[in-house]
Amino acid sequence: GALNIALLSKEFNAVLVHVSTDFVFEGDIVDLLKEDDLAEPISIYGLTKLEGEHDIIANLPEHYIVRTSWLYSEFANNFVKSMLKYGAERDSLSIICDQIGTPTYGVDLAGAILDIIESGKTEYGIYHYSNEGAISWYDFAKAIFDISGTQVIVRPIPTSEYPTKATRPKFSVMDKSKFKETFEIEVPYWRDSLIKCIDKLTT
């Protein structure tokens, strides 16, 4: 796991860039989440990711831990690809409306990580990165169908009507100020990046 990667990085004098998650937060406070805010996971997944962060911090000073959220791309399985699939198969869908966060386009995240590496800066530590904005899963689904031109009825439902294996934070919008100021990088708005992804998936 993360500990072994940290130890191996130390052995080879390498700087480690580790991707973590908004799941390390409880998400019960409606306020932008900063890197030094108390992390209290409410799922096993979030707990294991937080333990991984701690292992890296304790064993490798030269690290960047990048927390991200609601990750999607044209690759592998994710919410955007699932919505496009279900939207083509069904007349209506029920989507959670009371979890608020920010989608992150995988291509943008990869670019941000590359920017960190190429910056040559040594301000190691934890950083938050997602696209800009804040929406619910319901909003996200509606945007996916609007951009793709998919005709489907979308019904908003509370989390209680759609339990998942890993309990998600109710509010996990992260403050990206530290990342933007340190690396002097503009972060794309979530809908602009979603348009790019859907264009690649549908052409």
Domain ranges within the chain, ordered by starting residue: 2-202
Tell me the CA distances in angstroms from 182 to 18, 47, 65, 99, 160, one per residue in order: 17, 28, 14, 29, 39
The pLDDT tens digits along the chain (203 residues) read 999 999 999 999 999 999 999 999 998 888 999 999 999 999 999 999 999 999 999 999 999 999 999 999 999 999 999 999 999 999 999 999 999 999 999 999 999 999 999 999 999 999 999 999 999 999 999 999 999 999 999 999 999 998 777 788 899 999 999 999 999 999 999 999 999 999 999 98
* pLDDT of res. 87: 97
* pLDDT of res. 168: 86
CATH fold group of domain 2-202: Rossmann fold (3.40.50)
Q: Hunting for tokens 């989507």 — which residue is that? A: 95
* pLDDT of res. 167: 82
Show Cβ contacts of residue 5 under 8 Å, excluding neighbours closer than 6 positions.
Answer: 16, 18, 56
Active site includes 45? yes
* pLDDT of res. 97: 97
Nearest in space to 202 (alpha carbons), one of 148, 158, 166, 160: 148
CB 62 within 8 A of CB 124: yes
DSSP H helices, the chain, are 2-11, 44-59, 79-89, 106-119, 137-148, 177-183, 190-202
Catalytic residue among 45, 86, 105, 162: 45
Distance CA 189, CA 2 (A): 30
Distance CA 103, CA 40 (A): 21
Rg (Cα) of the chain, in Å, rounded?
18
Q: Which two tokens stand for residue 79?
A: 């919410």
* pLDDT of res. 163: 78
CB 158 within 8 A of CB 96: yes
The whole-model pTM stands at: 0.94
Nearest in space to 35 (alpha carbons), one of 16, 22, 51, 49: 22
Query: Strand 135-136 and strand 100-101: pairing?
Result: antiparallel
Length of the chain: 203
Show Cβ contacts of residue 181 under 8 Å, excluding neighbours closer than 6 positions.
Answer: none
